[in-house]
Amino acid sequence: MENLWKLSASELAGAIARGEVSALAAVEAHIARIAEVDAKLHAMVWTRYDEARAEARELDRRRAAGEALGPLGGVPLTIKESLDLAGSPSTYGLSSRAKVLAERDDRHVARLKRAGAIILGKTNVAQLLFFVETDNPLYGRTDNPYDAERSPGGSSGGQAAIIATGGSALGLGSDIAGSLRIPAAFCGIASLKPTAGRTPDEGRLSAPLGQRAIVSQVGVLARSVADVALGLEVINGGRNPGDDGRLEPGMPLGDPATVDVAGLRVAYYSDDGTFAVSPAVARAVKKAVEILRARGATVTAWTPPEVGHALDLAFGLLSADGGVGLVRNLGRDPRDPRIAKMLQAATASRSMLSLLRPLLRLSGRNKLAAITRNYGRRDADHYFGLVEAQRAYQARFAAALDGLDGGPADLVLCPAFALPAVRHGATEELLLGGAYTILWNLLGYPAGVVPVTRVQSGEESARPASREKMEQVAAETERGSAGLPIAVQVVARPWREHVALAAMAAIEKAVGWEGFRG
């Protein structure tokens, strides 16, 4: 009973349905586990334990009466703080919203509940969900389970941390630039960002909803690929009749079990030309490639086209309003230092940025100076032009995948992040570290991450001395990183999540990942 928190969501749901354990016992085991680990993590920001116990008792009563339970019947889980749960705050790290309670459940949260899941509480986020650490003036900082001096990633870092340590069987997060995949990679768990449009994020206190070129998606984090697949099926609506109809029903999901990995064509790369990866990251990609090759897949080394141009488009699209939306959402709230600096660049005029760039270069921030070329425009015509350029790039990218020797690629395998889990505060400088994830948001492709290895002693850094600040911070991130988890990213064609999940499961099985050992 005391080890129920070690079971996967699928295993736990099965045991409860068979009457081998009670839902109440599962809830109590996870509450006890949260009490054990969260004093160090600071991942949980709002809890509903009494309500969870009452729901578990009711579910146990229903099971004893012979009623069928849902696919997540009795499974205790958590959700990202920004997702609405009736009666709870969705603050996005804003102090002014601490007492504003949601009146209804987010669509995806409602689907979890109808599937029988029992929500224990909500987890910490980056302020406004806009940087890849988990810290904000309202709730404070969440630490990485493997090293308290490092971040669990962001903006879904609280979710990744509590799931990795067993406080939650699975959970929901969201992703507009890597906010599911980077925390999963940093914390050694699995996740998947669905195809753009499959599971839309209805939150209104991050990137403005009117920016429709790169759209946030709700997704699932879990300790196993099978649980990610199960959770995705639930929030996609496949096992939940009776949705409230606020959004169009999702596209049908394929079944990963029907995918023959041996028949897949996989393109892979470990360097996209924007930011060099750590030795352990390159080794993880090579290891995953060999696993899929051993399963019979055809694997081909590949270079994605024009990634630098793609990043310019992404930065331009996400800042097309000149930061006005973020400023409005922040109001008079205290600002996280990383958000404050981001807004300084996003709201600056083009003339001010032209004066700033030489100063950035003098301070060794040449790469950051180059990024600022995408800021300073806030007119509709410029935004429309970026959208047209995005469409043209998407077409060229698909053509490049179609033109591989041996036939069109089914999957792309690549790094999840350029580095191991970063130290707190480092992402202020490491804007290009997440280039490996944001590419797929620009394209709209489904992309998952699965842990493969840990940083080994002796491979912590191979970077030469550099005057470039971003490279210096990267080298410092790599030092002392032995033992940290390293994941790979598996990307499928749009609406083909099941193909990515099948390959992720094959990699997971071959690796035999043990996860957090604390």
Amino acid 251: pLDDT: 82
The answer to which of 18-22, 208-212, 224-228, 332-336 has the lowest mean pLDDT is 208-212
Phi first, then psi: what are they for 199, rounded to 5°? -130, 70
Whether residue 354 has a cis bond before it, omega within 30° of 0:
no
Choices 3.40.640.10, 3.40.50.970, 1.10.3720.10, 3.90.1300.10: CATH for 1-244: 3.90.1300.10
- Report the C-alpha gap between 232 and 226 in whole angstroms: 10
Task: Take residue 489 and report the two structure tokens written for it.
Answer: 């990213």
Taking the CA atoms of 343, 346, 349 and 351 in sequence, report the sign of the dihedral they define: positive
Contact 434, 132 (CB under 8 A): yes
Query: pLDDT tens, 283-327?
Result: 999 999 999 999 999 999 999 999 999 999 999 999 999 999 999
Q: Is the pLDDT of residue 352 over 90?
A: yes
Rounded to whole angstroms, how far apart are CA atoms 184 and 46?
Answer: 21
241 falls in which pLDDT band (50, 70, 90)?
Answer: very low
Are 198 and 185 within 8 A, CB to CB? no
Residue 200 gets which letter from DSSP?
A: B
Spell out a b/e string for 414-432, using b for 16 or more CB atoms within 10 Å of the CB, else e. bbbbbbbbbbbebbebbbb
Percent share of the chain, pLDDT over 90: 92
Interacting residues of 512 by C-beta distance below 8 A, sequence separation 6+: none
Rounded to an integer, what distance in angstroms lies between the CA atom of residue 256 and that of residue 504? Answer: 10
Write the single-letter amino acid at 391.
R
pLDDT value at 247 more than 80: no
Q: Is 518's pLDDT higher than 80?
A: no
- Residue extent(s) of CATH 3.90.1300.10 domains in the chain: 1-244, 261-305+388-518
Tens-digit pLDDT profile for residues 418-464: 999 999 999 999 989 899 999 999 999 999 999 999 999 999 888 99
Task: Specify the 3-state DSSP secondary structure of 515.
Answer: coil
Read off the pLDDT of residues 253-283 as tens digits, 9 standing for 90 and up.
999 999 999 999 999 999 999 999 999 999 9
Provide the pLDDT for residue 177: 97
By annotation, the residues acting in catalysis are: 80, 155, 179
pLDDT for res 240:
44
CA 145 to chain centroid, in Å, comes to: 16
CATH of 261-305+388-518, one of 3.40.1160.10, 3.90.1300.10, 3.20.20.70, 1.10.1060.10: 3.90.1300.10
